[in-house]
Chain A
Amino acid sequence: MKILIVEDEQPLLKSITSYFSEENYVCEGVATFNEAIEKVHLYDYDCILLDITLPDGNGLKILEALKAQKKAQGVIIISAKNSLDDKINGLDLGADDYLTKPFHLSELNARVKAVIRRKKFDTNDVIELGNIQINLLQRVAFANQTPLNLTRKELDILLHLIANKNYVVSKSSLAEQLWGDHIDQVDSFDFLFTHIKNLKRKLSGASARVEIKTVYGIGYQLLET
Chain B
Amino acid sequence: MKLLTLTTRYYLLLFLLILGIWSLVFYAVMRYEVYENSDEILLNRKNQVLGIIKQSREVPLAKDEYNDFVIHPLSSGLLPNTQDMYGDTLIYEPTDNEFDEYRKLTTRFTFDKKSYGMVIFKPRLETTEIVNTIAITLLSLYAVLVLALAFTSRKLSKKLWQPFYSTLNRLREYRLDQESSLLLDPTRIKEFEQLNQSIEQLTGKNRQIYLNQKQFIENASHEIQTPLAIIQSQIELLFQNSTLEESQSEILHEILSQTDRLSKLNNALLLLSKIENNQFFDKTRVLIKPLVEKILTYFEEHTEKYALQVSVDIPLNAHVHTNPMLMEILLSNLIKNAFVHNKQNGFIRVAVIEKIILVENTGEELAISPDTLFERFRKQSKSKGALGLGLAIVKTICEINKWKVNYNYQDNLHKISVQF
Chain A residues contacting B264 (CB-CB under 8 Å) are: 181
Chain A residues contacting B301 (CB-CB under 8 Å) are: 187, 190-191, 194
- Cβ contact within 8 Å between A171 and B253: yes
From A126-134, A137-145, A204-212, A216-224, the one touching the partner chain is: A216-224
- Cβ contact within 8 Å between A182 and B232: no
For chain B, the count of residues having a C-beta within 8 Å of the partner chain is 49
B261 contacts the other chain (CB 8 A) = yes
Q: How many Å lie between the Cα of A146 and that of B225 in the bound state?
A: 44
Known: A12-B230, A216-B249. A19 touches B237 (CB 8 A): yes
- Cβ contact within 8 Å between B229 and A101: yes
Q: For residue A81, give the distance in angstroms from its CB to the closest CB of chain B.
A: 6
Closest chain B residue to A105 by CB distance? B236
- Cβ contact within 8 Å between B222 and A80: yes
Q: How many Å lie between the Cα of A76 and that of B186 in the bound state?
A: 53
One of A101, A106, A167 near B225 (C-beta < 8 A)? A101
Known: A22-B240, A181-B267, A182-B336. A187 touches B302 (CB 8 A): yes
**Chain B interface, DSSP helix/strand/loop, else mixed:** helix
Q: Please report which residues of chain B, range 184-236, place their CB below 8 angstroms from some CB of chain A when the two chains form the complex.
A: 222-223, 225-226, 228-236
Known: A182-B336, A186-B383. A102 touches B259 (CB 8 A): yes
Q: Please report which residues of chain A, range 177-213, place their CB below 8 angstroms from some CB of chain B when the two chains form the complex.
A: 179-187, 190-191, 194
One of A18, A102, A152, A168 near B229 (C-beta < 8 A)? A102
Q: How many Å lie between the Cα of A123 and that of B342 in the bound state?
A: 46
B298 contacts the other chain (CB 8 A) = yes
Known: A19-B237, A171-B253, A217-B249. A185 touches B260 (CB 8 A): yes
Chain A residues contacting B298 (CB-CB under 8 Å) are: 179-180, 182-183
Q: How many Å lie between the Cα of A19 and that of B383 in the bound state?
A: 33
- Cβ contact within 8 Å between B230 and A218: no
Chain B residues contacting A105 (CB-CB under 8 Å) are: 232-233, 236-237
Known: A11-B230, A12-B233, A181-B267. A218 touches B239 (CB 8 A): yes
Q: For residue B237, give the distance in angstroms from its CB to the closest CB of chain A.
A: 5
Closest chain A residue to B298 by CB distance? A182
- Cβ contact within 8 Å between B236 and A19: yes
One of A15, A153, A179 near B234 (C-beta < 8 A)? A15
Contact with A along B260-279 (1 / 0, CB 8 A): 11011001001000000001
A58 contacts the other chain (CB 8 A) = no
- Cβ contact within 8 Å between A100 and B225: yes
- Cβ contact within 8 Å between B229 and A186: no
Chain B residues contacting A22 (CB-CB under 8 Å) are: 240
Q: How many Å lie between the Cα of A105 and that of B117 in the bound state?
A: 139
Closest chain B residue to A176 by CB distance? B260
- Cβ contact within 8 Å between B260 and A216: no
Q: How many Å lie between the Cα of A204 and that of B386 in the bound state?
A: 36
- Cβ contact within 8 Å between A103 and B239: no
One of B229, B237, B256 near A80 (C-beta < 8 A)? B229
B160 contacts the other chain (CB 8 A) = no
For chain A, the count of residues having a C-beta within 8 Å of the partner chain is 45
Q: For residue A49, give the distance in angstroms from its CB to the closest CB of chain B.
A: 12
Chain B residues contacting A101 (CB-CB under 8 Å) are: 225-226, 228-229
Known: A176-B260, A182-B298, A183-B299. A103 touches B229 (CB 8 A): yes
Q: For residue B158, give the distance in angstroms from its CB to the closest CB of chain A.
A: 48
Q: How many Å lie between the Cα of A101 and that of B332 in the bound state?
A: 22
One of B235, B237, B259, B297 near A18 (C-beta < 8 A)? B237
- Cβ contact within 8 Å between B257 and A12: no
Closest chain B residue to A216 by CB distance? B246
Q: How many Å lie between the Cα of A84 and that of B275 in the bound state?
A: 12
- Cβ contact within 8 Å between A217 and B246: yes
B252 contacts the other chain (CB 8 A) = yes
- Cβ contact within 8 Å between B253 and A170: yes
A135 contacts the other chain (CB 8 A) = no
Q: Please report which residues of chain A, range 85-116, place their CB below 8 angstroms from some CB of chain B when the two chains form the complex.
A: 100-106
Closest chain B residue to A103 by CB distance? B229
A125 contacts the other chain (CB 8 A) = no
Q: For residue A193, give the distance in angstroms from its CB to the closest CB of chain B.
A: 10
A34 contacts the other chain (CB 8 A) = no
Since A19-B236, A172-B260, A219-B239 are in contact, a sample of 12 more A-B pairs with Cβ atoms closer than 8 Å, ordered by chain A residue number, is: A11-B234, A22-B240, A101-B228, A105-B237, A170-B239, A171-B253, A172-B253, A183-B336, A184-B340, A215-B249, A217-B250, A217-B252
Q: Which residues of A contact B (CB under 8 A)?
A: 9, 11-12, 15-16, 18-19, 22, 80-82, 84, 100-106, 152-153, 167-168, 170-173, 176, 179-187, 190-191, 194, 215-219
Q: Which residues of B contact A (CB under 8 A)?
A: 222-223, 225-226, 228-237, 239-240, 244, 246, 249-250, 252-253, 256-257, 259-261, 263-264, 267, 270, 279-280, 295, 297-302, 305, 332, 336, 339-340, 383-386
Q: Which are the 10 A-B pairs with shortest beta-carbon distances?
A: A184-B385, A102-B229, A217-B249, A217-B250, A191-B301, A15-B233, A101-B229, A182-B298, A102-B228, A80-B225
18 A-B pairs with CB atoms under 8 Å apart are A15-B234, A16-B233, A80-B222, A80-B225, A80-B226, A102-B233, A103-B232, A105-B232, A105-B237, A179-B298, A182-B332, A182-B336, A183-B298, A183-B299, A183-B302, A185-B257, A190-B301, A219-B239
